[in-house]
Amino acid sequence: MPFARVVSFDDVSADRVARLREDIEGDRPPDDVPATEVIVLHDPEGRRALVVLFFETEEDYARADRALDAMPAGETPGRRTSVTRYEVALRRSA
């Protein structure tokens, strides 16, 4: 069963999201973050964001979780307020 790492951030500016988009688009994730998909949701008025990363295995999730927890605060979209692990019960694209 796939897993998702859902991280919420506060104090996220539109400029920071634009820089993040430039950093992520076209690049493969680092080897220590083997995500199969990344979704970034941004509330510009509330300056909040949610980042959802999907992983095929629990081992991939654990490896990425360690790497992302060690990431310097300056490399994140904003101030991290929560990190939650989910099992992906259903996933469908149109």
Q: Spell out the residues 6+ positions from residue 14 whose beta carbon is closer than 8 angstroms to its own.
A: 42, 44
Q: Domains (ranges, CATH) in the chain?
A: 3-87 (3.30.70)
pLDDT in tens, the chain (94 residues): 899 999 999 999 999 999 888 877 777 778 899 999 999 999 999 999 999 999 999 999 999 999 999 988 778 889 999 999 999 999 988 8
**Among candidate residues 92, 81, 15, the one with its CA nearest the CA of residue 51:** 81
Task: Label residue 37 left, alpha or beta by phi (over 0 means left) and psi (-120 to 50 means alpha).
Answer: beta
The whole model's pTM is what? Answer: 0.90
- CB pairs under 8 A, 24+ apart, for 56-59? 56/2, 57/3, 58/3
